[in-house]
Structure 1
Amino acid sequence: MSDPNDQLHPMPDDWQRALAVVAHPDDLEYGCAAAVAGWTDAGREVVYTLVTRGEAGIDTLPPAECAPLREAEQRASAAVVGVSTVEFLDHQDGTIEYGTALRRDIAAAIRRHRPELVITLNHRDTWGPAVGGHWNTPDHVAVGRATLDAAGDAGNRWIFPDLVEQGLDPWDGVRWVAVAGSTFPTHAVDATPGLERSVLSLLEHRAYIEALTDQNPEEYCRTFLTGNAEAASARFGGRPAVTFELFSR
């Protein structure tokens, strides 16, 4: 576990394009939407790639009904923080398998969008103390790990050569992979400018949230996001923060 006395470093800002790859609708809204809002405000481009449509996420809705609802909520949520491109890879929610098929699909997304920064969600087995030290889900672990690997795959023309045949030339321009929600954060972004929009962005997942909790949805979103941001402030000069574990390439 990171020493709480260690200060978090500011995230790099000398980049223009980012690609965020996560398992489910709402993952980015719980993880780092305040940072995304600040980045898009600064004129940077951020694209979202969702590995599933979150069709197994609401117990009272069968997957065929749930998937289009959650897709619509994700698109509305992304728009709140300035993200206009949202794509879905259609792996099966709840049973994502780490392996070459997943790495290939993510590498293809990286080659399509050619980001300098790739963002994903916690690939570790557990969440940190800020969320109770809970066991992570297999989907998050698989997608986070595959994204870290695919950042390298995307630059190697001899891995997944069929992508070249499809017009997706290698992209070796990924400079960092940033893992949101990591148990071992190293860097952070000041959450203050984007915090209010991050609350509104998470609130767009209303059907999911109303099935998840009996708490007032806006109160739930605000409490969760401001609590996490404030918990990180002691390691970021007293500023509310969105944290990342940053891997350089």
Structure 2
Amino acid sequence: MSLPEPKSEPALQPMPEDWQRALAVVAHPDDLEYGCAAAIAAWTDAGKEVTYVLATRGEAGIDTLAPDKCGPLREQEQRASAAVVGVDTVEFLDHKDGVIEYGVALRRDIAAAIRRHRPELVITLNHRDTWGGVYWNTPDHVAVGRATLDAAADAGNRWIFPELTEEGLEPWNGVKWVAVAGSAQPTHAADATAGLERAVRSLLEHRTYIEVLTDEDPETYCRTFLTGNVQAAAERFGGKPAVPFEVFNR
């Protein structure tokens, strides 16, 4: 008796392209560089506007550096990293690294950023408890990812956080999609071919963090990690190296 062949996973659909402004909201410096910088490089090449909003400055991320020294350094590295892929605007919400709390305050801050920048596409990082059922996710990633999904709706409702309207931030109901990078359940992908080299350089800008994280040569580490990820997605995207996303329509 022959065993049934394993079911192949469905092909990933191309990311929507009919948008002009994107807002990427994550917890820490380096989250976007590990997750989707190759896609962002291609989008800015095409003339699209991408803005970064980080909930923290990553001040608790390096054991050998006190937070008051680490935070400014990681902010500097994040701004340099963003510039490599064509992102000029990087904002920090100043929640505390490692102890971000999902709740009204976080939703309000992200809704305010969405109203301020008025994106059609919002990007965030894996909001589920695990990375593919193998590794436990951090509370910061979960909190920010979930709050971003919620804030995409909050931003368009004038009766939620009415104080934002009083501050001059009019409701914005123009978010069409929220794209989650690092999801174990991707539905779409962006071609990583043109942006991969800049993604490697972008991640490499976080050198202080990476040199503590690994004994491997930093450039080799960045190239191996990112190339492996985009090649893993290629088999579901017509053989092209790709950045996968789980896309939620709104």
TM-score of the aligned structures, taking structure 2 as reference length: 0.97
Q: Is the 8 A contact 1:108 1:163 kept in 2?
A: yes
Change (3 A) 1:4 1:109: farther
CA shift for structure 1 position 139:
0.3
Distance in 1 of aligned mates of 2:175 and 2:239: 31
1:176-187 aligned within 5 A: 176-187=177-188
What is the aligned partner in structure 2 of residue 248 from structure 1?
A: 249
Letter in 2 for 1:97: E
Distance in 2 of aligned mates of 1:126 and 1:200: 27
SS of corresponding position for 2:51? strand
Matched, 1:171 2:172: yes
Distance in 2 of aligned mates of 1:199 and 1:185: 22
Distance in 1 of aligned mates of 2:234 and 2:201: 21
CA shift for structure 1 position 128:
2.3
What is the aligned partner in structure 1 of residue 121 from structure 2?
A: 117
Matched, 1:51 2:22: no
> Which blocks of at least 5 consecutive residues in structure 1 are unaligned?
none
Distance in 2 of aligned mates of 1:41 and 1:135: 35
What is the aligned partner in structure 1 of residue 11 from structure 2?
A: 7
What is the aligned partner in structure 1 of residue 149 from structure 2?
A: 148
Distance in 2 of aligned mates of 1:84 and 1:191: 21
> Match for 1:26 among 18, 26, 30?
30
Q: Is the 8 A contact 1:22 1:121 kept in 2?
A: yes
CA shift for structure 1 position 5:
2.6
Distance in 2 of aligned mates of 1:137 and 1:174: 26
> Match for 2:42 among 38, 43, 46?
38
1:97-246 aligned within 5 A: 97-128=101-132, 133-246=134-247
SS of corresponding position for 1:192? coil
Change (3 A) 1:165 1:224: same
- Share of identical aligned residues, percent? 79
Distance in 2 of aligned mates of 1:28 and 1:4: 29
Q: How many pairs does the alignment contain?
A: 244
Distance in 2 of aligned mates of 1:229 and 1:58: 27
Q: Is the 8 A contact 1:11 1:188 kept in 2?
A: yes
Q: Is the 8 A contact 1:11 1:189 kept in 2?
A: yes
Distance in 2 of aligned mates of 1:238 and 1:125: 30
Q: Is the 8 A contact 1:77 1:205 kept in 2?
A: yes
Letter in 2 for 1:25: P
Q: Is the 8 A contact 1:33 1:194 kept in 2?
A: yes
CA shift for structure 1 position 4:
4.6
Letter in 1 for 2:214: T
SS of corresponding position for 1:119? strand
Structure 1 segments, 4+ long, off by >6 Å, are none
RMSD (Å) for aligned C-alpha atoms: 0.8
Q: Is the 8 A contact 1:4 1:235 kept in 2?
A: no
Distance in 2 of aligned mates of 1:4 and 1:209: 35
Letter in 2 for 1:230: Q
Q: Is the 8 A contact 1:124 1:183 kept in 2?
A: no
Deviation readout 1:66-116 (Å, 9 max, x if unpaired): 000000000000000000000000000000000000000000000000000
TM-score of the aligned structures, taking structure 1 as reference length: 0.97
